[in-house]
Chains A and B, each alone.
Chain A
Amino acid sequence: MNSPLSDETIRQQVYDIIAKEAHVEAPALRPDATLKDLGVGSLEAIELIFDLEEHFDITFPESQASFDTDTVQNLLDAIRSALDEKSGGAEAAA
C-alpha cells in the first residue's frame, strides 16, 4: 500500500462491502447500526469479516464476535487498528 488510507476512505469502502453483504444501499448505513439491525445473520457476518480481511489484507483477532451488538463503528475501529498495526509492523516493506 502506497499511503495510509484516510478514515473517510476506509469508511466508504467498508460501507460498500457491508451494503453488498446486507443488501442495503450504502447511504442508508449509519455507524451506530448493529449488524443485527442490518439483517446480517451470523454466517453472513463471518463472510463479511472475511471480505473485509481480504479487501484490506488484514487479520482480525480470533474471537467470537457478538453479531447482535457489534456496530458498523466497531468494525471501522477494528479495521483502523489492524491497518495501523500492519503499517507500524511492516513499514519498510510497505
Chain B
Amino acid sequence: MNGSVRRVAITGMGAVSAFGEGAHVLWQGLRSGASAIRPLRHERAADVRVRVAAQVPESFDPTAHFDERTLPLLDRTAQFALLAAREAVAQSGMAWDSDAAKRRAAVVIGTGVGGENTQNEQARRLYADNATRLNPLTIVRVMPNAPASQVSIAYGLRGPAFGVVSACASSNHAIAQAALLIRAGLADVAIAGGTEACFTYGALRAWEAMRVLADDTCRPFSANRRGLVLGEGAGVFVLEAMEHAQARGAVLLAELAGLGMSADAGDIVAPDPAGAAAAMAQALDDAGLAPGDVDYVNAHGTGTLANDPGETRAIRQVFGPHADRLAVSSTKSMHGHALGASGALELVGVLGALREGVVPPTANFTTPDPACDLDYVPNTAREMPVRAALSNSFAFGGLNAVLALKRA
C-alpha cells in the first residue's frame, strides 16, 4: 500500500443477530461454538419446506428501542441497523459536537434486499386483501438506502451517505466503500456495516425454489453439508482515520488494513474460485501483507455444495503452502447466512479473534470432505495468536469483497 494513504482504524462495533442484541452477545456465542440456528419461526412455517433459520430472537422488541414517532418510519431492516449503530457509536466514544465534524462523517450501510418485510406486508394488502390504499410510509421504509439515511438522521451526520447492494457481499462492499472515503480524505469517520431482515413468506418461497437451503443445519466444509441456512440481523462499525482515532485517544479494535474486490463475470450463481482468489490477493496486497502474515481466514463458507470446495481451492491458490497453517472457519454455521448483513456479523468474529487470540470455530462439522482439505477449526474455538486475518464475502451475481484486518 502507498505509504501516504491514510490508515483506517475500527473503534466501535455493534450487532443484532440470532444470538440477540449486542456485538458482545454475538462474540460470546461464536466463541462458545454454539449454533443459534433453530426451527423456523413464521406464521407460514407449516406450509414451507424451509425448516431451520437463524432469526433474531422473539424477545427483540422494537417499541423498547424506538419512540412512536420514529418507529412507523422503520422497516425491521432499519431497526436492526439503528440499534447496531447506537452500540458501535457508544463504544467508539464518538460525539459529533460541531457542524464541521458532522460534515466529515460518512454513513454506508449495505443490504441485500432492503425493506423486505414492508414490501411483503403491503403487497399482501394489495393483492390478497384487495386494499386500494397502502401505508404512506411504504416507500421510505422499503428503499434500500433507508438504513443509511436513518443512521445519518439519528446522529445528524452530513457527509457522504448511501446504501450499497451486492447481495451476500453487501456488508463487505459497504465497509470497503467507507474505508475508501476515509482514505480519499472525503470523511474522517464513517459508520458502516450491513443489515438484513428477510423472513417473509415470499422470500422463503423464493429461496426454497433455488434449492440451496439445508433442512437440517448449516455444516460448512463438512462432507454431509446440505446447503445454507438463512439468518438475519445487522452489524455496524465505526471506522476512523487512524490519526483521528489516535488524536482523541480512542480504543482501537483493529486496523482495517486492506480491501479486495472483484467480479467473476461468469455464472450468475455458481462461484468462480478465480474471482474469489483475485479479491483475496488484492486485499493482501492492499494491506501490505504477505500470505505468511495471516493467521485466520473467516470464510464465506455458506455450506452449499458449490461454495465450499471452490473457496478452499481459492484459499490454496492465494496462500500456497501457508494455507496448511491457516485457521479457516465459517461462523455462518452459528449466525446463519444473514445475506447483506453476513460480512458485518462475521467481522465481529474477526475482531474478537484479533483482540482475544481466540478463533471462532466452524460448528456442526462432523465429516471431512476430501474436496475441503484445510483446517476449519471444527466445533471448538481455538486459542492462538492472530496477527492478521481476512474476511471473505462472495455474492450471488459473482461479486466478491474481502477485508484484511490487522491487530491494533
- Residues of chain A touching chain B, judged by Cβ–Cβ distance below 8 Å, are 41-43, 46, 49-50, 62-66
Find out whether the CB atom of B209 lies under 8 angstroms from the CB atom of A50. yes
| B interface, over-half SS | loop
Find out whether the CB atom of B270 lies under 8 angstroms from the CB atom of A62. no
**A-chain residues with CB within 8 Å of residue B377 when the two chains form the complex:** none
What number of B residues sit within 8 Å (CB to CB) of A?
A: 17
Given contacts A42-B269, A66-B305, 5 further A-B contacts (CB under 8 A): A43-B269, A46-B209, A49-B211, A64-B227, A64-B305
Find out whether the CB atom of A46 lies under 8 angstroms from the CB atom of B267. no
Give the distance to chain A from B112, nearest Cβ to Cβ, in Å: 18
Find out whether the CB atom of A46 lies under 8 angstroms from the CB atom of B211. yes
**A-chain residues with CB within 8 Å of residue B184 when the two chains form the complex:** none
**A-chain residues with CB within 8 Å of residue B304 when the two chains form the complex:** 64
What separation, in Å, do the CA atoms of A45 and B403 have in the docked complex?
33
What separation, in Å, do the CA atoms of A50 and B211 have in the docked complex?
10
Q: Which of A41, A62, A66 has the most CB of B within 10 A?
A: A62
Give the distance to chain B from A47, nearest Cβ to Cβ, in Å: 9
Give the distance to chain A from B95, nearest Cβ to Cβ, in Å: 49
User: 8 Å CB contacts to A: which residues of B65-109?
Assistant: none
**A-chain residues with CB within 8 Å of residue B267 when the two chains form the complex:** 41-43
Interface contacts (Cβ under 8 Å), in number, total 30
In the complex, residue of chain B having the shortest beta-carbon distance to the beta carbon of A60: B211
Find out whether the CB atom of B268 lies under 8 angstroms from the CB atom of A62. no
B210 within 8 A of A: yes
Give per-residue flags for B184-215: 1 if the beta carbon is below 8 A from chain A beta carbons, else 0: 00000000000000000000000011111101
**A-chain residues with CB within 8 Å of residue B49 when the two chains form the complex:** 62
B306 within 8 A of A: yes
The residue that A62 contacts in the complex, of B208, B269, B305, B306, with Cβ under 8 A, is: B208
Contacts A62-B49, A64-B226, A64-B305 hold; do A43 and B211 have CB atoms under 8 A apart? no
Give the distance to chain A from B395, nearest Cβ to Cβ, in Å: 15
Contacts A62-B49, A64-B226, A64-B305 hold; do A43 and B270 have CB atoms under 8 A apart? yes
Sampled A-B contacts (18; CB under 8 Å): A41-B270, A42-B267, A42-B270, A43-B267, A43-B268, A43-B270, A46-B209, A46-B210, A46-B211, A49-B211, A62-B49, A62-B208, A62-B215, A63-B226, A64-B226, A64-B304, A64-B305, A66-B305
Give per-residue flags for B251-284: 1 if the beta carbon is below 8 A from chain A beta carbons, else 0: 0000000000000000111100000000000000
**B-chain residues with CB within 8 Å of residue A65 when the two chains form the complex:** 211
Give the distance to chain A from B266, nearest Cβ to Cβ, in Å: 10
Give per-residue flags for B220-254: 1 if the beta carbon is below 8 A from chain A beta carbons, else 0: 00000011000000000000000000000000000
**B-chain residues with CB within 8 Å of residue A43 when the two chains form the complex:** 267-270
What separation, in Å, do the CA atoms of A64 and B213 have in the docked complex?
8
Q: Which of A63, A64, A65 has the most CB of B within 10 A?
A: A64
**A-chain residues with CB within 8 Å of residue B226 when the two chains form the complex:** 63-64
Give the distance to chain A from B305, nearest Cβ to Cβ, in Å: 5
What separation, in Å, do the CA atoms of A50 and B267 have in the docked complex?
19
**B-chain residues with CB within 8 Å of residue A64 when the two chains form the complex:** 211-212, 226-227, 304-305
